[in-house]
C-alpha cells in the first residue's frame, strides 16, 4: 500500500458512508424475509382460486425483489471485501449499484400501476373520471422520475452522484406525490362505497386505514430519502434508506393482497375470545349437587312446552344470521 493511500484512509469516514450502506443491506434483507412470508401467505390462501394474473404479479415482484437484494449485497461486498483498503475503488460506482437503480424504477412504478389497476376495479359501476385522472397524473409524473433515474445511472463516481442530487430530489419527490394521489383516491372511493350496514361500513373503514398506513410508510421513507440527501449529500445515509424503499413498496402491495386474510384472522381471534368468555360465564352452573340436580330435572319436566320454545328457538335462529352477516362482509371485501 502506497503512502498516499495510507494518508487517504484516515480522511474517509466509513461509518456514515459504506457503513450506512451495510446497515441498509441488513435491514433490506430482513424486509425481504417479510416479503417471503407475505408471498407464502398469499399462495396458501389463494391456492384454490383462479386468480392467475395476481399470482404472476406476486411471482414477478418476488423475483425482482430477490434480484434487488442480490445486487445491493454484491455492491457492499465489492466495496468492503473485494476492495478493502483500496481507496481508488471506493470512489467509483460499481455496475451492481447502477443496475439496482433500474430495478428500483421497475418495481416502484410497477407497484404504482397495480395500485392504479386496483382503483379502476374499485370504481367499477361508477364514473371512471377519478381513475383516468390518476392514470394521467402517474404518466406525467413518471416521466421526470425516469429521467432522474437515468441521470443517476449514468454517474461513474460518487462525486458525480453528489453533483446530480437534483435527480434524487425529483425521483423520490415524484414517487411520494404519486403515493399520496393513489392513497387519497382509494380512500375516497372506499368512503363513498358505504352501504349503511354497520358490518360493511366497519370493513370499509378498516380497509381505508390499511390503505392510509401503507401509503404513508412508503411516502415517509421517500421524503426521508430526499431530506437526508439535501442535508447530508456527502455521505451515503440517503442511499442506505433508498435500499429500503423498494422493499417497502413490495411489502405494501402484498399486504393489500393479503388484507382479507389478516381481517379474517383478527375476526377469528375476537370470536374465539368471546366464545371462551361466554362458556366461562356459564361453567359454574355445571357444579350442582345431586339433590339440587334432581329437583332441577323435576322442575324442567313440569315446565310448559311453550316456555322451552321461547328459550330455545331464538338461539337456534341466531347462528344462521351471524354466518350470513360474515359471508356478506367477506363477499363485499373480495369485490374490492
Element of type H or E holding 64: helix 52-77
Angle (CA) 70-72-73 rounded to 5° is 65
Q: Which of 154-158, 288-292, 316-320 has the highest mean pLDDT?
A: 154-158
CB contact at 8 A, 288 and 296: yes
* pLDDT tens, residue by residue, 54-105: 999 999 999 999 999 999 999 999 999 998 878 888 888 999 999 999 999 9
- Give the mean pLDDT of 168-197: 83
Q: In terms of pLDDT, which residue wins out, 67 or 129?
A: 67
CA distance 229 to 162: 9
- Tell me, what's the pLDDT at 313? 40
Confidence of residue 306 (pLDDT cuts 50, 70, 90): very low
Task: Say how many residues make up the chain.
Answer: 336
CB contact at 8 A, 165 and 180: no
Using CA atoms, how far residue 129 sits from 46, 115, 119, 284, in Å, is: 32, 16, 11, 61
- Give the mean pLDDT of 288-307: 46
Three-state SS sequence of 139-170: HHHHHHHHHHHHHHHCCCEHHHHHHCHHHHHH
Residue 292, number of CB atoms within 10 A of its CB = 9
Indicate if the pLDDT at residue 216 is higher than 50.
Answer: yes
Task: Tell me which of 74-83, 201-210, 253-262 is least confident.
Answer: 201-210
CA distance 39 to 232: 36
| Residues 6 or more apart in contact with residue 241 via CB below 8 angstroms | 24, 221, 224, 225, 228
Task: Tell me which of 262-266, 268-272, 313-317 is least confident.
Answer: 313-317
Question: For residue 329, what are the β-bridge partners?
Answer: none
Task: Tell me which of 76-80, 177-181, 191-195, 311-315 is least confident.
Answer: 311-315
Confidence of residue 204 (pLDDT cuts 50, 70, 90): low
Indicate if the pLDDT at residue 293 is higher than 60.
Answer: no
Task: Tell me which of 23-27, 132-136, 284-288 is least confident.
Answer: 284-288
Question: For residue 157, what are the β-bridge partners?
Answer: 92
CA distance 254 to 78: 31
- Give the mean pLDDT of 41-53: 84
CA distance 116 to 114: 5
- Tell me, what's the pLDDT at 267? 53
Q: In terms of pLDDT, which residue wins out, 251 or 262?
A: 251
Q: In terms of pLDDT, which residue wins out, 20 or 1?
A: 20
Give phi and psi for 257, each to the nearest 5.
-65, -30
Residue whose C-alpha is closest to residue 79's, from 64, 101, 94, 62: 94
Report the share of the chain in percent with pLDDT over 90: 33
- Tell me, what's the pLDDT at 163? 82
CA distance 206 to 24: 32
- Tell me, what's the pLDDT at 43? 92
CA distance 101 to 243: 9
Largest CA distance in the chain: 107
Average pLDDT, the chain: 76
- Tell me, what's the pLDDT at 328? 36
CA distance 252 to 218: 8
| DSSP states along 8-45 | HGGG--STTTHHHHHHHHHHHHHHHHHHHHHHHHHHHH
Give phi and psi for 251, each to the nearest 5.
-70, -35
Amino acid at each position: 500500500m502506497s503512502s498516499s493511500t495510507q494518508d487517504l484512509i484516515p480522511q474517509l469516514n466509513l461509518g456514515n458512508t459504506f457503513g450506512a450502506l451495510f446497515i441498509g443491506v441488513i435491514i433490506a434483507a430482513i424486509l425481504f424475509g417479510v416479503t417471503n412470508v407475505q408471498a407464502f401467505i398469499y399462495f396458501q390462501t389463494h391456492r384454490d382460486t383462479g386468480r392467475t394474473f395476481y399470482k404472476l404479479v406476486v411471482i414477478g415482484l418476488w423475483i425482482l425483489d430477490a434480484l434487488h437484494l442480490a445486487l445491493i449485497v454484491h455492491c457492499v461486498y465489492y466495496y468492503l471485501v473485494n476492495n478493502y483498503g483500496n481507496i481508488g475503488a471506493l470512489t467509483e460506482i460499481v455496475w451492481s449499484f447502477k443496475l439496482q437503480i433500474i430495478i428500483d424504477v421497475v418495481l416502484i412504478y410497477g407497484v404504482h400501476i397495480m395500485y392504479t389497476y386496483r382503483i379502476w376495479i374499485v370504481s367499477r359501476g361508477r364514473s371512471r373520471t377519478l381513475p383516468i385522472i390518476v392514470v394521467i397524473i402517474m404518466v406525467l409524473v413518471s416521466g421526470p422520475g425516469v429521467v432522474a433515474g437515468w441521470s443517476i445511472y449514468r454517474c461513474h463516481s460518487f462525486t458525480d452522484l453528489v453533483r446530480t442530487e437534483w435527480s434524487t430530489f425529483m425521483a423520490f419527490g415524484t414517487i411520494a406525490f404519486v403515493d399520496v394521489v393513489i392513497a387519497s383516491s382509494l380512500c375516497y372511493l372506499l368512503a363513498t362505497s358505504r352501504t349503511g350496514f354497520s358490518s360493511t361500513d366497519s370493513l370499509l373503514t378498516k380497509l381505508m386505514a390499511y390503505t392510509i398506513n401503507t401509503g404513508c410508510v412508503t411516502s415517509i421513507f421517500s421524503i426521508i430519502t430526499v431530506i437526508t440527501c439535501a442535508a447530508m449529500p456527502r455521505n451515503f445515509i440517503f442511499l442506505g434508506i433508498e435500499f429500503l424503499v423498494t422493499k417497502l413498496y413490495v411489502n405494501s402491495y402484498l399486504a393489500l393482497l393479503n388484507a382479507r386474510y389478516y381481517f379474517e384472522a383478527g375476526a377469528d381471534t375476537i370470536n374465539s375470545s368471546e366464545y371462551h368468555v361466554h362458556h366461562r360465564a356459564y361453567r359454574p352452573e355445571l357444579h350442582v349437587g345431586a339433590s339440587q340436580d334432581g329437583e332441577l330435572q323435576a322442575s324442567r319436566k313440569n315446565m310448559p312446552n311453550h316456555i322451552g320454545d321461547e328459550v330455545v328457538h331464538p338461539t337456534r335462529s341466531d347462528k344462521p344470521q351471524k354466518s350470513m352477516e360474515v359471508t356478506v362482509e367477506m363477499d363485499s371485501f373480495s369485490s374490492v
